[in-house]
Amino acid sequence: MTAPFTPTAPGLDLFAAEPFHDSGPLCTSASAPALGDTVEVRLWVPDLWHASAVALRQVRDGEPVATALERGPADGAGHWFTGEVLVHNPVTRYRFCVVGSQDPSAPSPLPYAWVTAAGVRDHDVTDAEDFTLIAHTPAPDWVADAIVYQIFPDRFARAAHSPTTADGLPDLDLPDWAEPMRWSDPASEDGHRNGVQLFGGDLDGIIEHLDHIQGLGADTVYLTPIFPAGSVHRYDASAFERVDPLLGGDDALARLSAALHERGMRLILDLTTNHTGDRHAWFQAALADPTAPERDFYLFSGDGDDYVGWLGVPSLPKLDHRAPAMRRALYEGADSVTAHWLAEPFSADGWRIDVANMTGRHGAQDLAHEVARTMRRTLGRQHWLIAEHGHDATRDLDGDGWHGTMNYAGFTRPLWAWLADPDSDLNWLGLPMSIPRLPGGAATRTLRGVNAQMPYPSRLHSQNLLSSHDTPRIRTVTGDAGRTRVALGLLACLPGVPTLFAGDELGLHGLNGEHSRTPMPWDLIDGSGPASAVTAIDHDALTTVQRSFAARAASPALRRGGIRWIAATADALVFVRTHPEGSVLIHAARTAHDAIEVPTDLLLGTVRAQNPSAALLHVGGAAWADGAGVLRLSAEGPGLSALPLTDLT
């Protein structure tokens, strides 16, 4: 079910004509309640539905409980209804039922409808789509306001004092696997070759470019692994107790952390809890002696040397989380690796967990929830715990484990499918096909449906990514500078923590995850070097990032608000980030489109901005006109506008 009425514009889904509730502060009195609390919830129902009754259905101790909602005052073309949800269980699910009028002279669109986190349904659905309240200790408060900048350390920057040869190669004590590269050399598309191409980026090089990062509006730096390993990506760690000397060692990390915190910024590190490298001291001890304690750290078959490698890769032996000694060494308690890097002088502010979706899972073994819960206890209340996850993360977010996920499924994939180059031959994130180009309605259904499966606080504390070190770059995905700017605007406007992969602010290209690990072209940024097809800088993208992040920082709605979908056509997405301190309407267009007309009374507000200079954010060819009770949204080309609204209440 999309809209209950026949839209006037071809292909228009007018979601504004549906009953509305979201999990933001406009519609719920508490986002992080304690067990036993009562939370007030509010639902808006258009008068066109002729509702004879509105009920709240919640689940207590596994049993559905329905209560009637109290009808409140009119607002716009409908009425608000109010009810209470008792947070009786740590995870409390609820939804609403709107019952149609029994008066044949005032026919309702539907006999009854369920209002769920995924939208309005004209039939019974499972509890998976319900709104969810979580009574567990919430993520740190700062996460909702964070803007993250992701760095692949070897490819970001060499420090000014980093030694190089006359040919521009890193002049370091290189391991046997490393192939030294000039900073201007291309990054290989081949995974094995790329993994050994050492360009010589280091942690002190990051310190020297913090002005650039902070100038974008980012306040949190996330580093891919920094431990010694058998590759430059370092996901095959040979030790967890020290920083790779190639990056500057422990002292360099302490300097970077201090420099970030002096600026009021934060540091997130990357840990592999699913596997180590085969050079790791634990694994070498396990191979050398079948009776060694480290033998239990891995999934061996009997007394022989047969073991499980992650995805069958022998250089990545998989950890066995049934081993108490391994858990204590890696992530359980104050003496663990996890706790060590949170303490001074390193003072990391959280961990991103690599392959979190497979951690503790193998065959009949499933300890992923216990791993997440244990790590969360080790981190405490002020540190962020983010999980890598490439698909539906529902099972891993509905409780007291990971605070959030890398939201590839509920952000990256739908936006790629909507904004992709129609002629793209890039791989569709692992599927045996190129990226499809879907209409806005399909993208909206994914943005609503996938994210409905997770508690809203988990969504707000998840990373939104347009690209990463594991994917093609967004500029290559869209094939167009204008659509790239729309994507960068949406990065700041949709719920979640914006996470920008270093180089995307420059419009860098990348054909796959390996090729995307291109060294930052600092010579082009300062104007001292020649451009190329890979490293040509898009200054409009840079400006868009700065303006988008500034808009997010200025708006409680964009940082912490709920979301109400208003309309979608093939080429446009329209939604409102709702918040009592001021809501914001976002209109995103992937290309020119005819006007979308939204009745102002269904919008529950009017646009304050009369021209682009008054918009919170305006990019490209989006346009609007508000008058005579109708908001008209159009576009002459790719564009995005974020427009302050009058109070939705």
User: What is the DSSP code string of 619-631?
Assistant: EEEEEEEEETTEE
Same domain, 347 and 395: yes
| Helices vs. strands in the chain: H and E counts, helices first | 18, 29
More confident position, 430 or 203: 203
How many domains does the chain divide into? 4
Residue 287: helix, strand or coil by DSSP? helix
Same domain, 517 and 569: no
- Which is it for strands 70-75 and 78-86: parallel, antiparallel or unpaired? antiparallel
Question: Is residue 402 in some structural domain?
Answer: yes
Over range 348-377, report the average pLDDT: 96
The pair of three-digit structure tokens given for residue 44, joined into one six-digit string:
């808006």
With bands split at pLDDT 50, 70 and 90, how would you rate the model's confidence at 7? very low
Q: Please report the pLDDT score of residue 464 as a whole number.
A: 98
Burial bucket for residue 531 (CB in 10 Å: 0-12, 13-18, 19+)? exposed
Element (H, E) at 523: helix 522-525
- Look up tokens 């995103």; give the residue: 588
Going by the DSSP 8-state scheme, the letter that residue 16 receives in this structure is: G
- Which is it for strands 119-121 and 78-86: parallel, antiparallel or unpaired? unpaired
Same domain, 246 and 264: yes
Distance set, CA 48 to CA 107, 118, 357, 601 (Å): 9, 21, 44, 12
Cα 82 to Cα 72: distance, rounded to the nearest angstrom: 7
Question: Is residue 13 in some structural domain?
Answer: no
With bands split at pLDDT 50, 70 and 90, how would you rate the model's confidence at 603? very high
* Structural Rg of the chain based on CA atoms: 26
Give which of 167, 368, 162 is closest to 249, Cα–Cα.
Answer: 162
Residue 51 clears pLDDT 50, i.e. is over it:
yes
Cα 472 to Cα 512: distance, rounded to the nearest angstrom: 4
Give which of 507, 512, 511, 147 is closest to 520, Cα–Cα.
Answer: 507
Cα 588 to Cα 568: distance, rounded to the nearest angstrom: 10
Burial 451-473 (b: 16+ CB within 10 A, else e): bbbbbbbbbbbbbbbbbbbbbbb
Over range 100-116, report the average pLDDT: 83
Give the type of residue at 200.
G
Going by the DSSP 8-state scheme, the letter that residue 248 receives in this structure is: T
With bands split at pLDDT 50, 70 and 90, how would you rate the model's confidence at 303? confident
Same domain, 222 and 156: yes
CATH number for the domain that contains residue 578: 2.60.40.1180
Q: Please report the pLDDT score of residue 646 as a whole number.
A: 87
Q: Please report the pLDDT score of residue 505 as a whole number.
A: 97
Cα 320 to Cα 308: distance, rounded to the nearest angstrom: 10
Summarised one tens digit per residue, pLDDT across range 167-224 is 999 999 999 999 999 999 999 999 999 999 999 999 999 999 999 999 999 999 999 9
- Look up tokens 């690599």; give the residue: 354
Residues 506 and 541 sit within 8 Å (Cβ to Cβ): yes
- Sign of the CA dihedral with 163 first, then 166, 169, and 174 last: negative
Distance set, CA 187 to CA 167, 232, 246, 511 (Å): 18, 12, 19, 11
Give the global pTM.
0.95
Same domain, 186 and 288: no
Residue 533 clears pLDDT 60, i.e. is over it:
no
Over range 524-532, report the average pLDDT: 69
The pair of three-digit structure tokens given for residue 340, joined into one six-digit string:
């060590």
Question: Is residue 26 in some structural domain?
Answer: no
> Which of 284-298, 364-378, 468-482, 518-532 has the weakest average pLDDT?
518-532
Q: Considering 113, 134, 155, which residue would you say is the last residue of a domain? A: 134
Question: Is residue 326 in some structural domain?
Answer: yes
Strands (E), 324-471: 350-354, 361-362, 365-366, 384-387, 404-405, 427-428, 431-434, 463-465
Residue 157 clears pLDDT 80, i.e. is over it:
yes
Q: How far apart are the first and last CA of the chain?
A: 26
Summarised one tens digit per residue, pLDDT across range 213-253 is 999 999 999 999 999 999 999 999 999 999 999 999 999 99
Q: Please report the pLDDT score of residue 525 as a whole number.
A: 82
- Which is it for strands 91-100 and 78-86: parallel, antiparallel or unpaired? unpaired
Question: Is residue 7 in some structural domain?
Answer: no
With bands split at pLDDT 50, 70 and 90, how would you rate the model's confidence at 108? confident
Q: Considering 260, 289, 316, which residue would you say is the last residue of a domain? A: 316
Cα 140 to Cα 162: distance, rounded to the nearest angstrom: 36
Angle at which helices 539-554 and 481-493 cross, to 10°: 20
φ, ψ of residue 191 to 5 degrees: the values are -60, -45
Same domain, 187 and 201: yes
Going by the DSSP 8-state scheme, the letter that residue 69 receives in this structure is: P
Same domain, 60 and 100: yes
SS3 content of the chain, % helix, strand, coil (to 5): 25, 30, 45
Same domain, 241 and 375: yes
Same domain, 327 and 465: yes
Q: Please report the pLDDT score of residue 530 as a whole number.
A: 64
Summarised one tens digit per residue, pLDDT across range 558-595 is 999 999 999 999 999 999 999 999 999 999 999 999 99
Same domain, 377 and 511: yes
Over range 30-40, report the average pLDDT: 94
CATH number for the domain that contains residue 306: 3.90.400.10
The pair of three-digit structure tokens given for residue 487, joined into one six-digit string:
């994507």
With bands split at pLDDT 50, 70 and 90, how would you rate the model's confidence at 535? low
Residue 386 CA to its chain's centroid (Å): 10
Residues 96 and 19 sit within 8 Å (Cβ to Cβ): yes
Residue 647 clears pLDDT 60, i.e. is over it:
yes
Number of residues assigned to the chain:
649
Residue 5 clears pLDDT 50, i.e. is over it:
no
Mean pLDDT for the chain? 93
Same domain, 250 and 283: no
Element (H, E) at 527: none
With bands split at pLDDT 50, 70 and 90, how would you rate the model's confidence at 6? very low
Give which of 448, 368, 441, 487 is closest to 596, Cα–Cα.
Answer: 441
With bands split at pLDDT 50, 70 and 90, how would you rate the model's confidence at 428? confident
Q: Please report the pLDDT score of residue 1 as a whole number.
A: 33
Going by the DSSP 8-state scheme, the letter that residue 31 receives in this structure is: S
Same domain, 343 and 209: yes
Give which of 338, 343, 316, 138 is closest to 235, Cα–Cα.
Answer: 316
Residues 140 and 381 sit within 8 Å (Cβ to Cβ): yes
Going by the DSSP 8-state scheme, the letter that residue 344 receives in this structure is: T
Residue 596 clears pLDDT 70, i.e. is over it:
yes
Range of the structural domain that residue 72 is part of: 33-134
Question: Is residue 81 in some structural domain?
Answer: yes
Give which of 273, 245, 267, 280 is closest to 342, Cα–Cα.
Answer: 267
Summarised one tens digit per residue, pLDDT across range 308-344 is 999 999 999 999 999 999 999 999 999 999 999 999 9
Cα 117 to Cα 549: distance, rounded to the nearest angstrom: 27
Burial bucket for residue 61 (CB in 10 Å: 0-12, 13-18, 19+)? exposed
Residues 54 and 64 sit within 8 Å (Cβ to Cβ): no
Residue 8 clears pLDDT 60, i.e. is over it:
no
Question: Is residue 539 in some structural domain?
Answer: yes
Q: Considering 506, 522, 554, which residue would you say is the last residue of a domain? A: 554
The pair of three-digit structure tokens given for residue 207, joined into one six-digit string:
């310190």
> Which of 22-26, 367-371, 390-394, 594-598 has the weakest average pLDDT?
390-394
Question: Is residue 17 in some structural domain?
Answer: no
Ramachandran area for residue 460 (φ above 0: left; ψ -120 to 50: alpha; else beta): alpha
